Structure 1
């Protein structure tokens, strides 16, 4: 059988759609304007008739062939496509197609549509992104019950990725620059202020009565809309929807706190990441199901310890979990970074090092450097709001002959700024000062808290003369640590 090669057009991404039913037809129709579409189906008669209107497009190719054949998939361009979507109806055919794509052809981006009560686990274990038939409807319904918000169901993909919400007078986001909200999986695309259209930038500030047009992940937007509308905490949805746990980090001291966090935060799921075929994560998936937690498995071709940043680059990370590790004495003194800190250095999502100190009823935000990242302060405030916890802003005041003149005053000013920021969210932050060696003093203060929040400036050098305070605290704190690299 001679199969036509998909046409090439360097300016457009390529998608291979497998299955020419109504879903495949609608997806191809929507993507054809901006994508190069190849459609593969074994039913050449009725399917070709349905797609007859597309044949004239130089960005569309219909291939008659069996998707359970490796040769057919290769000739259809599966290994060259930017994305592959499987919409076939037969479960056995669908699973075998996904197995060929992931295990034999090593296609990176594969999404499958599952209908009815088909179990997602076999596909998740292959590393396939699963979309259930009710997902789009659920996103729309979830958004519909968000009072004061509207979903643009006929715009874009029509899955609820565009939403409008009104900012209420008591919202905690009023007067804050949009950049201070740190959007990751979403953004404010436009602001309607009365009869005026405002094209927003990072320094644009929302006002009561504004209607904000949001664009982003449909799983995140309803929660973000509630946050903007009322100012309620949506921790950790600013960063992503999942609590991501590498399989090699999921020890007995880690999992109980992960379960508590999954039940009490706004995270949508626990995602276990494993190298290879995902076999190492299967017992973890069983554990999550026994705990009643929404969970999934993601497979990566890279060792998550040696290449953590690369493995996380395309993950939907709300919080990344890393197991506690001991710190050698020479690393305490500043002679280089530990393996754990080297994994954290390239990241930009919150990293949790759990030590079983939950629930998080008392949170300490520790400052030892005037150049403290305000995003870490926002993270601590949001966590305090989410878990109804008390928040203490502590500053470690080293002797002036060590830090230089004026550093203590600058730290106190920064402490007051954070307390004012917390007050704008309705959180009362308590001041705490501890003098002496910043590491020893902060470690002593941590004894009365369940969670320590740190901002970690990855550009700061770690040396024998000035060892990293953050490295010591991440490894040695008696409580759980939530660190935000920047």
Structure 2
């Protein structure tokens, strides 16, 4: 049995489509109630006020399966929910049709399902306009945590095995290809023309859609929309060039300047923004510590200024890398990058090259890759496989992006030989990945950590998971 409270146009259409259930309609208008009962044999009406507890006492609530209330006045629906949950202490499903927003808090304690026909209609129209990007409108928390996309153009996420994509805060839930379901196992590849269902953080999915659909570089929106820049002294303000240049080119929507035990003058920041023609938003936050900020959901990248003599050297950079799930940038004073240099001596070569290519496209510069391996006579089977994999990955990216990637393989110690290789360069942004939660130890030193702290170039470190 279904109880419908109030009969308007929407409710009448709903009754017309519910033909396999017994329906009780509560309606204050006698003529409207009589009309409904005469037109629909499966409907019985009760003439009365649905917000009156006396009306509800006339109903055999033990046989009720669902209650639907659709009053424009949310307080009437709220009163009905109170009767059902508090007075009669029933746990049956209640559907509240609401045409007003911001009422979730009012109904939170009653465990009801809120449906907003206007919002659903708008989402359907937007989905049709977008044609290739749809949000789920009646699943989960209904905030965009589940989206459906038609992959219309090639991006760096297509034609690659899912196990090599290493998603962060999102997962492929299903793939539809040629009207058939493809179970998204690790060896499956997403192809142009696929319809893909993706689940994850709503803010991340909206940015991810642009990568899938258009191949638009989004770094660091995959991690969050804010760039956090940490200032420890007034001298740091004299070395903001590289950080501001980074902010200008990446997709971060806002710059949060975190002043740690110091005061930052807003005039200096405004002047730098104007000089660099930056129109994006910024804000200044004062704090005594910064560690709680590292993994904020909306934080996309943490940026620290490296000077020859800086408070950062007194900090344990390893601790920063160990505690954060977000990219970390150690910026020098230079305000220009002639190229993006990426080290494939990273836990996940595909992922780190993906980030480097995105950055190269954002800065409109070329990308180069370097990989250090043991001399041939000392390589074991695993070393040989990794070397071959590096060539395969670089060639795949060349094919996907139709770009040239200069790739250099050198032999020897990965830290010493990579630093020697980098010393030949004038200006670049260095990118490398490191094992998440494990930035190195005395017995197993981290290549990424030592390169980042010893190179003369600005470096972005990407935390990566390891299978």
Number of aligned residue pairs? 352
**Partner deviation per Cα, 1:321-349 (whole Å, 9 max, x = no partner):** 12226599xx9xxxxx9711221123232
Identify the residue that residue 389 of structure 1 maps to in structure 2.
365
Kindly indicate whether residue 299 of structure 2 is the aligned counterpart of residue 317 of structure 1.
yes
Distance change >3 Å, CA 321–CA 356, structure 1 → 2: same
Out of 470, 473, 483, which is 2:451 matched to?
473
Question: Is this contact kept in 2: 1:190–1:198, CA < 8 A?
Answer: yes
Instruction: Give distance in 2, aligned partners of 1:461 and 1:154.
Output: 45
Which residue number in structure 2 is paired with residue 343 of structure 1?
320
- Tell me what 1:133 maps to: none
Q: Which runs of 5+ in 1 are unaligned?
A: 1-45, 61-86, 89-135, 332-336
- Cα displacement (A) at 1:462: 3.5
Task: Using structure 2 for the length normalisation, give the TM-score.
Answer: 0.61
Question: Which structure would you say has the larger Rg?
Answer: 2
Match of 2:421 among 445, 449, 452: 445
Residues 212 and 446 (structure 1), Cα distance of their counterparts in 2 relative to 1, 3 Å cut: same
Structure 1 residues 140 and 481: alpha-carbon distance in aligned structure 2, compared to 1, 3 A threshold: farther
Q: Conserved in 2, the CA contact under 8 Å of 1:178 and 1:206?
A: yes
The answer as to 2:279 corresponding to 1:295 is no
Corresponding position of 1:379: 355
Structure-2 separation of matches of 1:271 and 1:138: 33
Q: 2:190 aligns with which of 182, 200, 206?
A: 206
The alignment yields a C-alpha RMSD, in angstroms, of: 4.5
Whether the 8 Å CA contact 1:163–1:213 is kept in 2: the answer is yes
Question: Would the alpha carbon gap of residues 365 and 197 (structure 1) be closer, same or farther in structure 2, given more than 3 Å must change?
Answer: same
* 1:191 corresponding residue in structure 2: 175
Cα separation, 2, equivalents of 1:455 and 1:248: 26
Cα distance in 2, alignment partners of residues 285 and 215 from structure 1: 42
SS in 2 for 1:56: helix
With structure 1 as the length reference, what TM-score do the two structures score?
Answer: 0.59
**Residues 415, 431 of structure 1: 8 Å contact kept:** no
8 A contact 2:349–2:390 mirrored in 1 = no
Change (3 A) 1:205 1:281: farther
Cross-structure match for 2:217: 233
Q: Indicate if the aligned counterparts of 1:326 and 1:475 stay in contact, CA closer than 8 A.
A: no
Query: 1:245 corresponds to which residue?
Result: 229
State how far apart, in whole Å, the 2-side matches of 1:303 and 1:164 are. Answer: 40
Question: Once the 2 structures are TM-superposed, how far is the Cα of residue 485 of structure 1 from its aligned partner?
Answer: 2.7
Aligned-pair CA distance for 1:283:
4.0
State whether structure 2 residue 390 is matched by structure 1 residue 415. Answer: yes
Deviation at 1:461, TM superposition (A): 4.8
The 1:209–1:347 alpha-carbon spacing in structure 2 relative to 1, beyond 3 Å, is same
Do the aligned residues in 2 keep the contact of 1:344 with 1:351 (CA within 8 Å)?
A: yes
How far apart, CA to CA, are the structure 2 residues paired with 1:48 and 1:360?
Answer: 60
For residues 450 and 229 of structure 1, do their structure 2 counterparts lie closer, same or farther at Cα, with a shift above 3 Å needed?
A: same
Whether the aligned pair in 2 keeps the contact of 1:172 and 1:424 (CA below 8 Å) is: no
SS in 2 for 1:55: helix
